[in-house]
Amino acid sequence: MLPRIIPILLLKSRGLFKGKNFQNHKYVGDPINAVKIFNEKRANEIMLLDISAGLENRILDIDFVQSIADETYMPFSVGGGLKSVSEIEKCIQHGAEKVVLNTSVILNPALIKEASSIFGSQAISVAIDYQRSWGRIKVFTNSGTKATNLNVIDWAQNVEDLGAGEIILNNIDNEGSYLGFDCGMVEKTSSKINIPLVAGCGAGSLADIRDVVNAGASAVGIGSMFIFRRPHNAVLISYPDVNEIESLFN
Amino acid sequence: MKITIPNIQLSNLRSIKYKLEQLGYEVIIADSEKQIKEASLIVFPGVGYFSAAMAKIRESNLLDGLNEYVHGYKKPIIGICLGMQLFSSFSEEGNVGGLNWIDGTTKKIFSEDNLKLKIPHIGWSKVLWVPQNSLGLNTDDTFYFTHSYHLHCNNKSDVIAWCNYGITFTAAIFHENIAGFQFHPEKSHIEGIKLLKSTIDFFCK
C-alpha cells in the first residue's frame, strides 16, 4: 500500500488561509474550490482544519462539511474546536470520514476513549503540535499558541492507549518552511506506536515525502507545497499524479 | 430503479443519497418497517464501533423489517464497510452478535508475523477479485479502506475479493441476495462509483 499523501487545508470559518510556523495566516481563497481541484486531481484523502474555531469557542462549519461530502468522491477528515461526542457525531453524520482532535483531548483525554468506543478508532485522529522552546521540545495546544508540559512520545503512546486510530505529528518550527519533515521525531514516535502516523509540516519536495515515509510515517500532510507555487508563493493548487508517487517508492 | 437506505444514523446518509441520485437512481431514506419491506434494493452504509451500531439498529424499529426483507423476501442488500461487517454473526468489536445474515465473524486485524503492523488499516489498497465472481467484478484499481476489523467468512465461497494488509482478509462478499464491500466505493473516486453502479445494476437486471 502506498503512503497516503494528504493535502491539509487550514480554514478560518469559510475562508482558506495559510501561514508559516502557525502564524501570519493570509487569506488564500475559497476552500470549496481548492477541495474540488484536489478531488479532480484524485487526492488520496484531504484534511480540513478550522484553526480559529477553538480560539473563538465554536466548532467548524457543519454545512461546509456537508457540502464537501456532497461534492467529493474522496475521504476527508475535519477538525476545529471539537470537544464532545455530539460535536464529533455531527461531523461524521455530515460526511467526514474522521475527526481531528487536539486541544480538547489534552484537557480531557477521556474523550478519545469515549469517542472511539462509539465511532471506532479509525474515525478518531489526534493531532500533536510541538515546538522547540527554551531548548526543550514541548507539545502545544490552541493552534500552537499555548505550551504544555507534555512530552511528544509519552502523549502519543497515551493517545494510542486511549483508542485513537491515527496521530498527526506537526512540527510547528517547520510549517510552511519547505525545509523537509522532522524525520528524527517521526522515527522516534512511529517506532513507539502501533497506529498510523501522519507526518505534517515542512514538505518542500517529493523527496521529502519519501524520506519521512522511510522514517516511519504512514502518510504525509501537506499544505504550502500543494497550495503555492514558488518562488513567489502565487496560489496554484497542485498534487502529484499516481505515477510520480509510485516512482518515489519503487 | 429505486434504492432504499434505512434511516439508521450510522454514517452520512444524505451524501450517499445525493451520490446515488447523481447516478440517476431514485433514493428514499426509509423510516418505517413498511418502507423497508416495500424496498427493491437496499444500500446499507456504516461507520463506527460494531456494538454501538448494533444498539442503534435495535433502537431503530427497522430490525424486523430488515430481517424479513433479507431472509424472507430474499431481496438485494449492499453493505458498505461496517455495514457489511454488521451482516456477520458475531464481532470482536464489543463482543456482540450481529445481524447474522452471513456465516462469519468480524475479527480484529492481527498478524503474528508482523506485530508492528499499523492498525487501523487506512489507505488505498489493491483489491484481488476472485475470477468469475458472481458480481462479475474484475479491476486492477485500488480502493479506500479504513478499518481495524475484518469479516472472516466461514464459507470461502461467500468471498468474492481479497485484500492484503499484514494478513489476507475479505474485501468483498456475495451470498445469494447479499453483497458487501469492506472498502468505501463512495469515497474511492470514479472507480468506486463505477463499481457501486455496476453492483446495483447487477441486482436490477
CA–CA separation, B196 and B43 (whole Å): 10
In this predicted structure, what is the pLDDT of residue A133?
A: 79
Mean pLDDT over each residue of chain A, to the nearest integer: 96
The set of cell numbers assigned to B59 is 433502537
**CB-based contact B80:B46 (threshold 8 Å):** yes
The set of cell numbers assigned to A245 is 508517487
The verdict on a CB contact (< 8 Å) between A75 and B148 is: no
Amino acid at A208: D
Cα angle vertex A98, ends A97, A99, to 5°?
145
Q: Which residue of A has its CA nearest to B124?
A: A1
> For residue B187, which residues of chain A lie inside 8 Å, CB to CB?
73-75, 97
**CB-based contact B10:B44 (threshold 8 Å):** no
CA–CA separation, B201 and B205 (whole Å): 6
The verdict on a CB contact (< 8 Å) between B146 and A122 is: yes
In this predicted structure, what is the pLDDT of residue A233?
A: 87
Q: How far apart are the first and last CA of chain B?
A: 10
Q: Report residue A249's pLDDT band, with 50, 70 and 90 as the boundaries.
A: very high
Select from A92, A97, A218 the Cβ nearest to the Cβ of B187: A97
In this predicted structure, what is the pLDDT of residue A88?
A: 97
Over range A215-225, report the average pLDDT. Answer: 97
Q: Which residue of A has its CA nearest to B184?
A: A75
Select from A75, A98, A116 the Cβ nearest to the Cβ of B144: A75
At a CB cut-off of 8 Å and minimum separation 6, what does A215 contact? A181, A183, A184, A186, A187, A190, A199
Q: Report residue A188's pLDDT band, with 50, 70 and 90 as the boundaries.
A: very high
In this predicted structure, what is the pLDDT of residue A250?
A: 84
Count CB pairs under 8 A between chains A and B: 110
In this predicted structure, what is the pLDDT of residue A222?
A: 98
Condensed to tens digits (0 to 9), the pLDDT of residues A119-163 reads: 999 999 999 999 997 889 999 999 999 999 999 999 999 999 999
Nearest to B104 by CA among B150, B151, B147, B70: B151
The set of cell numbers assigned to A147 is 505550551
Over range A166-186, report the average pLDDT. Answer: 97
Burial level of A219, CB count in 10 A (0-12/13-18/19+)? buried
The verdict on a CB contact (< 8 Å) between B125 and A1 is: yes
CA–CA separation, A102 and A172 (whole Å): 14
Task: Give one word for A65, left, alpha or beta, with left for phi > 0 and alpha for psi -120 to 50.
Answer: alpha
Upper half-sphere CA count for residue A172 (Cβ side, 13 Å)? 23
Does the structure show a pLDDT above 90 at A77?
Answer: yes
Query: Residues in chain A, how many?
Result: 250
Phi first, then psi: what are they for A40, rounded to 5°? -65, -35
Determine how β-strand A46-50 pairs with β-strand A76-79. parallel
The Cα of B14 is separated from the nearest Cα of chain A by a number of Å equal to 8
- Beta strands in chain B, from DSSP E residues, in sequence order: 2-6, 26-30, 42-46, 77-81, 90-91, 96-97, 104-108, 121-126, 128-129, 142-147, 149-153, 159-165, 167-175, 178-181
The Cα of B17 is separated from the nearest Cα of chain A by a number of Å equal to 9
Q: Mean pLDDT by 10-residue block, N- to C-terminus, for chain B (205 residues)? A: 90 87 95 96 94 95 97 97 97 98 98 92 98 95 97 98 97 98 96 96 90
CA–CA separation, A99 and A111 (whole Å): 12
DSSP-derived 3-state class of residue B144:
strand
Cα angle vertex A182, ends A179, A183, to 5°?
115
Is the CB of A236 inside 8 Å of chain B's CB atoms? no
In this predicted structure, what is the pLDDT of residue A135?
A: 85
The verdict on a CB contact (< 8 Å) between B118 and A194 is: yes
**CB-based contact A176:A19 (threshold 8 Å):** yes
**CB-based contact A73:B190 (threshold 8 Å):** yes
In this predicted structure, what is the pLDDT of residue A204?
A: 97
**CB-based contact B61:B6 (threshold 8 Å):** no
Over range A93-98, report the average pLDDT. Answer: 93
In this predicted structure, what is the pLDDT of residue A170?
A: 98
The set of cell numbers assigned to B51 is 456494538
In this predicted structure, what is the pLDDT of residue B13?
A: 87
Is the CB of A47 inside 8 Å of chain B's CB atoms? no
> For residue A195, which residues of chain B lie inside 8 Å, CB to CB?
118-120
Amino acid at B5: I
In this predicted structure, what is the pLDDT of residue A11?
A: 97
DSSP-derived 3-state class of residue A99:
strand
The Cα of A224 is separated from the nearest Cα of chain B by a number of Å equal to 23
Q: Which residue has the cell 494488509?
A: B165
The Cα of A148 is separated from the nearest Cα of chain B by a number of Å equal to 28
